[in-house]
Amino acid sequence: MTESYCDSPTIASGPNWLSQVSIREITNDDLPALEWDGEYSHLRKVYAHAFQAHKSGKAILWVAALPETGIIGQIFLQLISDRFELADGIDRAHIYSFRIKPEYRGFGLGSRMLDEAESFLLSLSFRYITLNVAKKNHKAQNLYERFGYQIISHESGCWSYLDEKGVWRDVEEPAWRMQKTLS
């Protein structure tokens, strides 16, 4: 018999694990945990740059942490961007780097994090939220549609970054840009 992710030891703490999760601003000490045991170590410099944007007030970085387990999710909110169609610092913000560890998906954590992000942005008087979702990520797209996001354009998904070894990497992940009007 194979073990499903629902039976994994990290989830076996019972049905109340979700209520134990805290969603909070990131700290410098959290940065290594964003690498998810090496799976995302190639994004180390990207995360460091995002943390600098967080410290300067251009972004808000949140993590979802489960006691005795650590960080199990993240969501970044870009408040000010060079691309004003994404985040203009006035009434438009952009969600990015939103992910939850696979074994914690499907239990409502993503919905909770998205709801908290939207409520926070509304409290800051932002009226619009944009995000990009990979065209092949149908589960995430369905989540966003349930929350009222609508596809407004195609994104090439082309970008480059400097990895942890100092090598430039090119990424091409075609995406949909989605938008929601907050009320």
Q: Is residue 68 in a domain?
A: yes
Cα–Cα nearest to 74, from 49, 53, 104, 45: 104
Q: Is residue 62 in a domain?
A: yes
Q: Is residue 23 in a domain?
A: yes
* 25-78 confidence digits (pLDDT tens): 999 999 999 999 999 999 999 999 999 999 999 999 999 999 999 999 999 999
CA dihedral 72, 62, 31, 164 (to 10 degrees): 90
Q: Is residue 7 in a domain?
A: no
| Domains of the chain: total | 1
Cα–Cα nearest to 26, from 58, 57, 64: 64
**Stronger pLDDT, 181 or 8, i.e. the higher one:** 181
**Contact present, 133 and 140 (Cβ < 8 Å):** yes
- Alpha carbon of 15 to those of 64, 99, 115, 180: distances in Å? 17, 21, 20, 31
Q: Is residue 169 in a domain?
A: yes
**Residues spanned by the domain of 61:** 14-181
Predicted local distance difference test score (pLDDT) of residue 16: 86
> Domain of 126: which CATH number?
3.40.630.30
- Paired sense of beta strands 22-25 and 59-66, if any: antiparallel
pTM score, whole prediction: 0.90
Q: Is residue 5 in a domain?
A: no
Q: Is residue 9 in a domain?
A: no
Q: Is residue 2 in a domain?
A: no
Predicted local distance difference test score (pLDDT) of residue 118: 98
Alpha carbons within 13 angstroms on the beta-carbon side of residue 21 total 27
